[in-house]
């Protein structure tokens, strides 16, 4: 049977896995999917839109792979039957010719949740950063207006070498938008849209911006590090507050329709998969 290229939309809770990519010490998202595929004799190894680290959640992780003897509908039915609290699937769609989950992506949106009041919003505690608990921030007030201002300086095309792991290749990356959404119950959501991201980039950007807003170092030092790519004594925000929210593709390559993106079936209606209410 002739194989077809398909795109899968999956979601998962990062606190249940040691990251996406297969490794000797599991469990990982990739190995969980591969085991499920092998049980119906599908040997393809799915490629993700991006690898997430241990503890990072995904509302929309896109996988691309080829199918032979199993149809997209059959694969969706099989994977849906194995949905758990930790991992599930929304769609399996035939993908346009030339589609690749990672290399075809034009933009990704990450969201990071900050919990500003430890006495409130307990339902968000396991999927947000309770910033008052960080040893360098104890007793310091995080000023949200200042945080919003420093985050906006990240917009544009930069090297971002000061804000990502050294293992990632240096090069220009573009942040196309940063928005801070404050909720009444003590949770703040940072929405970051960019063309591509290096390892730990969002966590270093968020943590260092929080450090500036708390007065650990100046906004000028932050901007200088952004422009020059020199190291900065910032903070790497914890993984549990980060979620891969959305992956965008050019219209000619997007496997998912607009209405499908707006209302994905099977996505849990609870944190971390829901936006914070304004």
d(CA 54, CA 70): 31
Q: Are 211 and 197 in the same domain? A: yes
Tell me the average pLDDT across 175-190.
91
Q: Which two tokens stand for residue 125?
A: 């505690």
The per-residue pLDDT for 173 is: 94
The per-residue pLDDT for 165 is: 83
Worst-scoring range by mean pLDDT, 24-33, 151-160, 205-214? 24-33
Q: Which of 82, 104, 126 is the last residue in one of the domains?
A: 104
Q: Are 111 and 235 in the same domain? A: yes
CB burial of 255-275 (b: ≥16 within 10 Å; e: otherwise) equals: bbeeeebeebeebeeebbbee
Tell me the average pLDDT across 163-170.
85
Instruction: Say how many domains are in the chain.
Output: 2
Residue 152 has pLDDT above 70, yes or no: yes
Residue 1 has pLDDT above 70, yes or no: no
- Does 249 fall in a domain? no
What percent of the chain clears pLDDT 70, i.e. is strictly above it? 100
Q: Is 53 an active-site residue?
A: yes
CA angle 255, 256, 257 (to 5 degrees): 125
pTM for the structure as a whole: 0.95
118 half-sphere exposure, CB direction, 13 A CA radius: 8
> Which among 15, 53, 159, 195 is annotated as catalytic?
53
Q: Are 134 and 235 in the same domain? A: yes
pLDDT in tens, 4-56: 999 999 999 999 999 998 887 779 999 999 999 999 999 888 999 999 999 99
CATH assignment at residue 62: 3.30.70.580
Please give the mean pLDDT across all residues of the chain.
93
CATH assignment at residue 176: 3.30.70.660
pLDDT in tens, 74-124: 999 999 998 899 999 999 999 999 999 999 999 999 999 999 888 888 889
The domain of 73 spans 4-104
Q: Would you give the distance in Å from CA 179 to the centre of its chain?
A: 15
Q: Are 151 and 187 in the same domain? A: yes
Q: How confident is the model at residue 277 (pLDDT cuts 50, 70, 90)?
A: confident
Tell me the average pLDDT across 138-149.
93
């Amino acid at each position: 049977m002739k194989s077809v290229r398909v795109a899968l939309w999956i979601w998962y809770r990062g606190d249940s896995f040691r990251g996406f990519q297969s490794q000797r010490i599991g469990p990982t998202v990739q190995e969980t999917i591969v085991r499920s595929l092998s049980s119906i004799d599908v040997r393809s190894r799915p490629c993700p839109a991006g690898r997430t680290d241990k503890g990072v959640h995904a509302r929309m992780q896109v996988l691309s792979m080829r199918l032979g003897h199993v149809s997209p509908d059959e694969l969706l039915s099989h994977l849906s039957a194995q949905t758990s609290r930790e991992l599930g699937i929304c769609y399996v769609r035939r993908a346009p010719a030339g589609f690749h989950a990672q290399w075809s992506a034009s933009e990704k949106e990450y969201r990071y949740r900050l919990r500003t009041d430890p006495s409130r919003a307990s339902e968000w505690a396991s999927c947000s950063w309770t910033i008052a608990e960080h040893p360098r921030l104890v007793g310091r007030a995080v000023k949200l207006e200042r945080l919003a201002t420093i985050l906006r300086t990240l917009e544009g095309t930069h090297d971002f070498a000061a804000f990502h792991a050294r293992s990632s290749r240096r090069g220009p990356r573009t942040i196309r938008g940063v928005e801070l959404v404050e909720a009444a119950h003590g949770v703040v959501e940072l929405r970051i849209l960019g063309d591509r991201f290096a390892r730990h980039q969002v966590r270093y950007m968020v943590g260092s911006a929080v450090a500036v807003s708390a007065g650990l170092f100046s906004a000028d030092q932050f901007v200088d590090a952004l422009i020059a790519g020199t190291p900065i004594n910032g903070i790497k925000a914890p993984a549990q507050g980060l979620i891969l929210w959305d992956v965008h593709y050019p219209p000619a390559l997007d496997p998912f329709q607009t209405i499908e993106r707006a209302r994905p079936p099977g996505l849990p209606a609870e944190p971390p998969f829901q936006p914070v209410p304004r």
